[in-house]
């Protein structure tokens, strides 16, 4: 595993991100010789779960109770 000081990492951060993604090798980030972080490649990109398309068909009024009601106003 490659190690790198925080100051150096700060200078070449975007380049290191690209290298980790391409080479699939982690990088240990150190501060004063002590490990503080580990940059690792993502193993698999997962799609966000969604309910889109889960309803096959819908019949009737989904918010109705099935009972008739009168609001008290006449329709004249």
Residue 69: predicted pLDDT:
76
Angle at 47 between CA 43 and CA 54, to 5 degrees: 150
Residue 37 vs residues 12, 14, 42, 48: alpha-carbon distances, Å: 16, 16, 15, 27
Residue 76: predicted pLDDT:
60
Beta bridge partners of 38: 28
Beta bridge partners of 39: 27
Q: Where along the chain do its domains lie?
A: 2-39
CB contact at 8 A, 19 and 9: no
Q: What is the pLDDT of residues 14-57, one digit of tens each?
A: 999 999 999 999 999 999 999 999 999 988 777 777 777 776 77
Say if domain 2-39 classifies as CATH 3.10.310: no
């Amino acid at each position: 595993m490659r190690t790198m000081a925080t100051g150096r990492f700060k200078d070449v951060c975007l380049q290191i991100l690209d290298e980790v993604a391409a080479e699939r090798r982690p990088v240990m980030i150190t501060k004063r010789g002590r490990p503080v972080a580990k940059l690792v490649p993502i193993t698999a990109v997962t799609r966000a779960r969604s309910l889109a398309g889960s309803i096959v068909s819908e019949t009737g009024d989904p918010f109705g109770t099935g009972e008739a009601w009168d609001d008290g106003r006449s329709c004249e």
